[in-house]
Structures are given as structure tokens and as C-alpha cells.
Chains A and B, each alone.
Chain A
């Protein structure tokens, strides 16, 4: 079945540092890929998405490129802020999956940014 693997956390950075959170996936066909962010005490918010190979999703300074050859969708930001502290989830949607609309999530990566 489909699966998503994220880098182990937690990740702790100083403000203005460069961020990379690795995400790799296993899926048949051509899934859509997403990054969701969960701020403390809140639900998940869609951060960015990519629907086909070589697409780059971007939002709020975050970027991720859909790499089919390496089955990866790594999240990057050039300069993190304290307000970026949250849990980040990589997820995929496979239209050919057994449960329509099902998002397959990674385990989440906790990011803490210090001033």
C-alpha cells in the first residue's frame, strides 16, 4: 500500500536558519503530494501542494518540489521564524487507492524555532 516517511524529529532551529524536512513516499501511479501544518491546539492547514512530477508548491516562504525519480517531496524554507514553530505533515493522495479521498500521512515532524 501507499506510505509516507518523514525525517525523525524534533527539529530545533534558531531564527533565520535554513529548514529542510525530508519526505519520501511509496505509491503506485501518480499521487498528489501535500504538506500540512498544525499549529499548537489547532487543526491541520494545507501549506502547499504539487499534483504532478517536477511541480513546485510554494506558500509563505516554504517550497517543495515533486521528484518522481527519487519519490521525494522535501519541505524547505530559507529563513525560519519563531511563528513557524509547529508540526509539519507530509501527505499523499492516490486517486487509485482503495478509499476515495484518503490522505496517507507521514508521522509528522515537530519544528521548534528559537529567537
Chain B
């Protein structure tokens, strides 16, 4: 199993540009989520999904969109990038019947200039 994979690893955007961060998992986990990691702040939840076709907002959803058309994929879209979105983004997945153990991808480092 590849686990949770994310692409790209690094990305530089100009303010106002759009892009999609990709996340995929091959463990057949129902639950997937996106976090952002900022220095001194730990990780904060952006959006999550408990299954295909179902998404919901986390604690910092503004400026981000998600969709979940398949169990495997959970892309994160930035519609109009802002410097405040400079961060490291992590995708995670979890089996709903587990003891809440989440598996994280390697991350995408995004810089918005």
C-alpha cells in the first residue's frame, strides 16, 4: 500500500492564482481531511469528508474548496491564492470504525507571493 499520497510536494503561486492540491489514499478509508500547519500553531483542520459525496468545513475553511467524488481522492482547491495561505498542507485519512487513528500524507509546501 502506498498509504496517503500528496502532489505536488512544493508549489509557488502568485497572489490571485488558483490551484488544486491532490490527495489520494489506497486504504479504502471513508474519512479524509485537510490540515494546514503553520509555525507555532500545530495543525488546523480545513475541510473533511466522511465519505464520497459528503464534505464539511473544519475550523479554517475560508479560501478553500473541496469535493469527494470517489473514496480514494480528496482534492483541495485554492480559488484565489493569498499570502496568508502560505503554509504546509497535510491530507489525512481514517477508517471510521477505527480508534480514531489518522494516517497523514507527506505534505505540500505552498508559498504564495
A: residues with CB less than 8 A from B are: 4, 32, 34, 36, 41-46, 49, 51, 89, 91, 93, 95, 99-103, 105-108
Q: Which 9 residue pairs across A and B have the least CB separation, nearest first?
A: A105-B42, A43-B104, A44-B104, A93-B100, A43-B106, A105-B43, A102-B45, A107-B42, A99-B58
Q: Is B50's CB under 8 angstroms from A101's CB?
A: yes
CB-CB under 8 A from B43, the residues of chain A are 44, 89, 103, 105
CB-CB under 8 A from B100, the residues of chain A are 32, 51, 93, 95, 101
Known: A46-B102, A49-B99. A100 touches B48 (CB 8 A): yes
Q: Which residue of B lies closest to A32 (CB)?
A: B100
Known: A32-B100, A101-B33. A4 touches B42 (CB 8 A): yes
| CB interface residues, B 17-35, toward A, < 8 Å | 31, 33, 35
- The B interface, classified by DSSP as helix, strand, loop or mixed, is strand
Q: Which residue of B lies closest to A104 (CB)?
A: B42
Q: Is A100's CB under 8 angstroms from B50's CB?
A: yes
CB-CB under 8 A from B104, the residues of chain A are 36, 43-45
Q: Is A101's CB under 8 angstroms from B42's CB?
A: no
B: residues with CB less than 8 A from A are: 4, 31, 33, 35, 40-45, 48, 50, 56-59, 90, 92, 94, 99-107
Known: A43-B104, A43-B106, A43-B107. A103 touches B99 (CB 8 A): no
* Complex-state Cα separation, A105 to B43, whole angstroms: 6
B25: shortest Cβ distance to chain A, in Å?
12
* Complex-state Cα separation, A4 to B44, whole angstroms: 12
Q: Is B42's CB under 8 angstroms from A99's CB?
A: no
Known: A43-B90, A108-B42. A103 touches B102 (CB 8 A): yes
B24: shortest Cβ distance to chain A, in Å?
14
CB-CB under 8 A from B45, the residues of chain A are 99, 102-103
Known: A101-B33, A101-B100. A107 touches B105 (CB 8 A): no
* Complex-state Cα separation, A45 to B35, whole angstroms: 14
B104: shortest Cβ distance to chain A, in Å?
4
Q: Is A32's CB under 8 angstroms from B99's CB?
A: yes
Q: Is A99's CB under 8 angstroms from B102's CB?
A: no
